[in-house]
Structure 1
Amino acid sequence: MAGRKQETQLRTAGGIQYELTRKRVKNLNIRVREDGTVAVSIPLRTSAEAADRFVAARADWVQQARERAMRRAAQEARPLPDKETALAYFTAMSDKVYPAFAGVLGGHKPTIKVRSMTSRWGVCFVAKRQITFALQLYHMPPAAQIYVVVHEYCHFLQPNHSPAFWAEVAKLLPDWKARRALLK
């Protein structure tokens, strides 16, 4: 078997077209690539029919993963706004949320900044009274944007993600979980 070429074929199961590859792996693996294509690798002795059943059983998950990949690709295709535009936008949004936190902030608005961030939507620096928003947040739905603004402001009340923090978020946004889901 050493030197044996990997066998690859195109198959369809559960309405999902996928590329099947037999390899030296222990488990059946499914992967949705960035372009939305589906790759399945199976152990050398596993039947193609077993792979078909595996894919068909996960068709809903594959479709959701494809939709996420398409949304990511669409987001990446849209140019980020310039910093001045994004700063003005998020400052205006912050000004709408600020009154609920004016007391804890002693009547002084936090400094709002924007920058490109790939792993976070926002960051709150409590000691500096500063909130930084990701430029990438600009292209997200307004309901999700408000969630991030409220989330970061709530860190002035609770500096962590404890149950008390989430209770503060829920006071202002009872539907915060649905809003957060828009970011995924």
Structure 2
Amino acid sequence: MPELLVDNLPVEVVRKNIRTLRLTVYAPDGRVRVAVPLRTPEEDIRQLVLARGPWIRKHQERFRQQTRPQPLQYQAGETHYYLGQPYTLQLHTTDGTPHVRLEGTALHLYEKPGTSPAQRKQLLTAWYRARIKEQLPLLLAQWQPVVGVRVHEWGVKQMRTRWGTCNIRAKRIWLNLELIKHPPHCLAYVVVHELVHLHERLHNQRFWGLMDRFLPDWAQYRRELNQHSLRAGHQPDAC
């Protein structure tokens, strides 16, 4: 990927068939990437990076100060999160179908003898996916009338650098599976955020004004969500 050095700051430059410039700072290392229209002059990119210098440094410093979570080992006694609450992983052998059950303060994983950590991860991931797919229809039913839009399709997937995405033309939204580990209001914030993109594509004054109208506490929820790095060592971008 082409790289540009701006005031001793390495900047990845991605040229796309887009209309506006987009600057992103990524966790955990604070790398900077600028997506620009195909024919954007290099000087315009330099000026954007220089103008956003304080914003870039603020987010890089925040990423440096964050405690990075240790990789999950999927062993008994380990802490896993669901809807913002910690649960202790308990392992049990079973002759039946492997499954996960939430009870009290524990996540009980029933497995065949010889199950590997990778297989336990698959079981838990499937359980998380089922839980978020239960909740998203309810959230959409709640918030679509408030925002005044309707999506044609929605889905869930693992994303390294986004909490959610919206395809405006197709009226399709995707939500990050990791959201199910965070408090319910954080999931609601991302749902509303993506729905508002069906009114306004850009993160501009109109967009944030609509967020203020539909979800007045959105900034608090956003700060709370972005305090957490993803277990894989990545965090959704700081835009």
TM range (shorter): 0.5 to 0.7
Following superposition, the deviation at residue 175 of structure 1 comes to 1.5
- Identity level (%): 25
Shift in alpha-carbon separation, 1:169–1:114, aligned structure 2, 3 A: same
Mean Cα displacement is larger for which, 74-83 or 144-153? 74-83
Q: Find the aligned partners of 2:214 and 2:70 in 1 and give their Cα distance.
A: 28
**In the TM superposition, what whole-angstrom CA distance separates every residue of 1:52-79 from its partner, at most 9, and x where no partner exists?**
xxxxxxxxx89x623xx24986669984
- The TM-score, its normalising length taken from structure 2, stands at 0.43
Q: Find the aligned partners of 1:114 and 1:99 in 2 and give their Cα distance.
A: 21
Q: Find the aligned partners of 1:150 and 1:71 in 2 and give their Cα distance.
A: 31
- Name the structure 1 match of 2:204: 162
1:144 corresponds, among 174, 186, 189, to 186
Q: Find the aligned partners of 2:130 and 2:66 in 1 and give their Cα distance.
A: 34
Amino acid at match of 2:142: K
Q: Find the aligned partners of 2:220 and 2:128 in 1 and give their Cα distance.
A: 29
Q: Find the aligned partners of 1:112 and 1:181 in 2 and give their Cα distance.
A: 24
Shift in alpha-carbon separation, 1:82–1:139, aligned structure 2, 3 A: closer
Q: Is the 8 A contact 1:141 1:182 kept in 2?
A: no
What stretches of structure 2 of length at least 5 have no aligned partner?
1-27, 29-61, 73-78, 82-88, 90-120, 227-239
What stretches of structure 1 of length at least 5 have no aligned partner?
1-32, 34-60
Following superposition, the deviation at residue 86 of structure 1 comes to 2.1
Would you tell me which structure has more strand in proportion to its own residues? 2
Following superposition, the deviation at residue 83 of structure 1 comes to 3.4
1:98 corresponds, among 123, 132, 144, to 144
SS in 2 for 1:117: coil
Structure with more contact order per residue of length (Cα contacts < 8 Å, sep ≥ 6): 2
- Name the structure 2 match of 1:89: 135
Instruction: Tell me the matched-pair count.
Output: 119
Q: Find the aligned partners of 1:176 and 1:147 in 2 and give their Cα distance.
A: 6
- The TM-score, its normalising length taken from structure 1, stands at 0.55
Q: Find the aligned partners of 1:96 and 1:167 in 2 and give their Cα distance.
A: 20
Would you tell me which structure has more helix in proportion to its own residues? 1
Following superposition, the deviation at residue 95 of structure 1 comes to 1.3
Q: Find the aligned partners of 2:223 and 2:80 in 1 and give their Cα distance.
A: 16
Amino acid at match of 1:154: V
- Name the structure 1 match of 2:153: 111
